[in-house]
Amino acid sequence: MIIDGNKYFILNTKSTTYAFRVMESGHLEHLYYGKRIRVTDNLDGLIERQEFMMGNNNAYSPDFPSLTLNNVCLEASFEGKGDNREAFAVIENSDGSRTSDFVFESAEIDNEKKDLKTMPSAYDLEGASLGDKDSVSKGNHLHVVLFDKYNELRLHLDYYVFENTDVITRTSRLENCGKASVTIDQIMSAQIDFHDSNYVMSTFNGAWAREMSRKDIPLRAGKHINSSYTGTSSSNANPFFMLSSPKTTENTGIVYGFNLIYSGNHTEIAEVNEFDKTRVLWGINPRGFSWELDAGESFEAPEAVMTFSNAGFNGMSVSLHNFVRNHITRGEWAKKERPVLLNSWEAAYFDINEFRLLKLARAGRDVGVELFVMDDGWFGERNDDRHSLGDWKPNLKKLPNGLKGLCDKINELGLSFGIWVEPEMVNVDSNLYRKHPDWAIQIPDRPHSEGRNQRMLDLSRPDVQQYIIKAMSKLFSSVNIEYVKWDMNRTLTDVYSEYIRDNLVSSDSVLSKNRQGELSHRYVLGLYRCIKTLTERFPHILFEGCAAGGNRFDLGILSYFPQIWASDDTDAIMRAQIQTGYSYGYPQSCWGAHVSGGTNHQTLRVTPLETRFAVASFGSLGYECNLIDMSRDELNNIKDQIAKYKSFRGVFQFGQLYRGRTFTDDKNVTEWTVVSPDKKKAVGMLLQRQAVPNMPYQYYKAVGLDEDLYYHFYNREIKVSIKEFGDLVNVVSPIHIRPNSHVQNIVDKFYKLEGDSDALKMFGSAIMNAGVKLLPAYSGTGFNEKTRVFSDFSARLYFMEAEKL
């Protein structure tokens, strides 16, 4: 609920309060954001009272000689009036000046959640008004208007309160009310100033195949910047970030979580000034960006998301997960359980044909797979990554019966059929490029910096957008396609658009110039038009986003595609770290996770099949391995895995995920718990990086259970191969068994050791606080049926089901 206390604005969620006021000068002073507090319409105790000018700071104006904006916590700041910190907006006015003076004009409180016109934004539950159903009580939208009378510009600031999820979102829109064009060089989505600086800024950085590594930076004087300049939200710097107190843990301490509903270049800035105040800004990256705003036009910035928790990082994640599930992902698949899939990529790469695909699909069907996905290599002359992107017609040498022939046969096996596409890209060696070279983003008559032997189509062009919509609509309606993996395997270089050069000219002859600084943002807007149109046209299709893995994992894409391929790295140990990183800001229903082959294709690491399954279970499960070459034991194990996953699928995909100990904290284990909404079911995972001899007894601690429920706690039992013991098995074997011998293979085929079996009954309070002391792991001596074989990279799943005492 938002309270208007005569130029005081108090935004309350279930557990937080956000407050600011209109100063006598007309500026918006930020007063507080944190745990919910009791306030009246008198907030004088939260105001910093300036009586004298300090040192060499500048007074805002003769009417306010003791006011320096450089020492005020503000809701929005601008250049030229004494605030030396990073600005919310930088605007080149029609006279060439860059000074802006936005002051309060009006405010309105209502109950309407307004969509952005050009970009996705958060929505109300089932289309209800704010205040209905999950978004309780009325008055959850605040619209504030600031006006710069000297330059005739209006800045519209919108605040939306999602009470039950403890989230506030913000948008900004600049309106040119004058008669001349202005140029926007920078405009943020949100700003928040804190009166102190005792914070740690946590960002999630990485690269291809190693996304979302958490980096903690204690704030000091100066700027700390997290940003992308790839044309995407990028695996280098995800737009999600946190600010926390130095001693915050997973379950204790204060933390702020921030995100952006945007899929392009972005920036997140935390700046500490000489008065020890901290300014946080996030929005479109100003590097390489400019936007010419003609008279009568408006520019809207992406919607920003923020939350606060005093229950540690897990508390913040709970709020953001609920927000994403209920107010970002939408459509038929938002809350629908996702099928277990088998993807052809790591099984065959480009070397696919109908016979091989059907053989792989049959193997998938036999172990319980529900969806078969044909990845890259099915169209044009696509035998490698140098040809045919843009030519979306099946290769009849590989698929002699066409897509329909293959799809029909897949459906006859009882499987759904899915397909891979990369509509935003084009190969130079393609019919599309030969016909429309001007459709690519490139600088004419200059050498181009290639990425994966392909170029990006210019999605700022309406004709390119229409081509993609038409080509994909034709493809998706040609056969019974029920899943689409939408890929994007390179980033922007040689940023130039012939369309912008020829078509976007300012109406103001004084400022008329080439507007190439608009290309990266216009690309994103064009992408949104394409995927919005297609997802609305094909609501039954499950779309999974991908950009060389997690190079575009953001709330913008999740507004259209309910899940994203988290990383091209399918190695279980790396995936545990990557998925831990994502879990801070995104629920596990949003990422795809696959079981790969025994020797991983990205790291060459060999991990147990159980470990690969355990890690991939926390998300939308798939298999990306050659089932045709697997042994009968492996296939039987996979069949059991999938059956168990299906029985807990709703919990794995839509339960609340909590982190315990993690590799991120330099621990030797990663510990996850996922809990059903009613807390009657839960699954835990304990993953070990390295085994040590004479090790201490291990334990597992759950998070998020009902303290008063009585749980049956048990693990998924697995059989143990004698091969895991090497020649150590000869200590107990009546015959000598040489490792890797024919005898060992025969014995292993017909005889398996019984694995550990834990079956306990405990209250939730005990499992969470005392933890479960697990059966002893083999540590150099002794072995029996109560010993866990828990070597390097081993994992166990533990299931918890409430029952009557």
* Enzyme catalytic residues: 487, 568
Count other C-beta atoms under 10 Å from residue 461's C-beta. Answer: 22
Residues contacting residue 753 through CB under 8 Å, at least 6 positions apart = 719, 720, 721, 722, 789
Angle at 725 (CA atoms; ends 719, 728), nearest 5 degrees: 140
| CA pair distance 579, 573, nearest whole angstrom | 10
Q: What is the spatial order of strands in the sheet that 710-715 belongs to?
A: 656-659, 669-675, 681-688, 795-802, 710-715, 759-763
**Contact of 172 with 157, CB cutoff 8 Å:** yes
Give the sign of the dihedral formed by CA 418, CA 424, CA 430, CA 436: positive
Name the nearest CA neighbour of 487 among 562, 375, 363, 595: 375
Q: What separation in angstroms does the CA of 756 have from each of 28, 335, 694, 720? A: 62, 35, 19, 9
Query: Within 10 A of 149 (CB to CB), how many other CB atoms are there?
Result: 11
Provide the β-strand partners of residue 670: 687
Residues 672, 795 contacting (CB under 8 angstroms): no
Which residue, among 639, 164, 113, 749, has the nearest Cα to 365 in the 3D structure? 639
The span from the CA of 725 to the CA of 743, in Å, is 15
Report the C-alpha gap between 17 and 298 in whole angstroms: 31
Show contacts of 352-356: CB within 8 Å, 24+ apart.
Answer: 352/377, 352/378, 352/398, 353/397, 353/398, 353/399, 354/398, 354/399, 354/400, 354/401, 354/405, 354/406, 354/409
**In this structure, what is the dihedral angle of CA atoms 95, 99, 105, 106, given to the nearest 10 degrees?**
110
How long, in residues, is the chain?
805
| Residues 532, 119: Cα–Cα separation, whole Å | 10
> Closest Cα partner for 544 from 583, 592, 586?
592
Q: Which secondary structure element, helix H or strand E, spans residue 460, and what is its range?
A: none
Q: Which of 590, 769, 794 is nearest to 687 (CA)?
A: 794
CB 535 within 8 A of CB 543: yes
Using CA atoms, how far apart are residues 793 and 804, in angstroms rounded to an integer?
Answer: 36
Answer whether 563's CB lies under 8 Å from 338's CB: yes
Among 485, 479, 349, 341, CA closest to 420? 485
Question: Of the candidates 29, 301, 28, 305, which has an alpha carbon nearest to the alpha carbon of residue 186?
Answer: 301
Among residues 284, 257, 262, which one has the least CA distance to residue 201?
257
Q: At which residue do the structure tokens 């596409």 appear?
A: 421
Give the bridge partners for 223, in sequence order.
271
Among residues 755, 792, 786, 754, the alpha carbon closest in space to that of 773 is found at: 786
